[in-house]
Structure 1
Amino acid sequence: MQTSRFVVPILAILSSAGGVRAEPVDLVRVDKSERRLELLFGDKVVRSYAMALGANPVGHKGREGDERTPEGRYVLDWRHPESGYYRSVHISYPNADDVAAAKRAGVEPGGMIMIHGQPGA
């Protein structure tokens, strides 16, 4: 199972009625093999969503343009308020290990990885 973990300090969850319900979440877990994003508080899955990935999702992101999703522990560090995508949130990729691995391979690691909903949603 390919699982990526994104650490989140606080996250508001959308209710089915479209309003925002504050609910604590301390981990966003992405299971790439299941194409599933889960919001957790402790060991409890608070919400679960079907998700799409890039065109080449198998394996850890290694270089710019490989269309892969990073695997590992990252922080959701800011929200893009003017994005054309719904609730676009930035992932702190690349970290120091990603930069070092890309340098060893002689490639750029890429960046600006976001979790978001559909355009204009």
Structure 2
Amino acid sequence: MHDDAPDYLQMILTKTRNDRQLALTIFSQLFAELPMQLDGIQNALNRQQYDLARQIIHKLHGSLSFCGLENIRKQAHSLEECLVSNNYGMISRYWFQLQQCAFEFTAQQQTLLEELTRETV
């Protein structure tokens, strides 16, 4: 298991008051939506549709906050702030960092979901 996986599990279990089924549902939904949201952000940035990119990031930021995924949330927040302040020169940096954090999280999808479906003793 990846070093951060226990932290992700603990974050979501804390948020759900150790309701493993609810945590599984939330993470499953996040794993389904995250790639679509990242694609939407990428497409909006490529077209310089900064308001649309900001709207998608804002929704993503809320989901990440709810799940307690602080490392990814911070990156989404930085990119959102960059767009709000029209700091277009820093978009690439923050976008890359957000993608990296999201990739590290999604690379653990199978492990995290399997852990949540295991019966606890």
TM-score, length-normalised on structure 2? 0.23
Q: Greater relative contact order (Cα 8 A, min sep 6): structure 1 or 2? A: 2
By percentage of residues, which structure has more strand?
1
By percentage of residues, which structure has more helix?
2
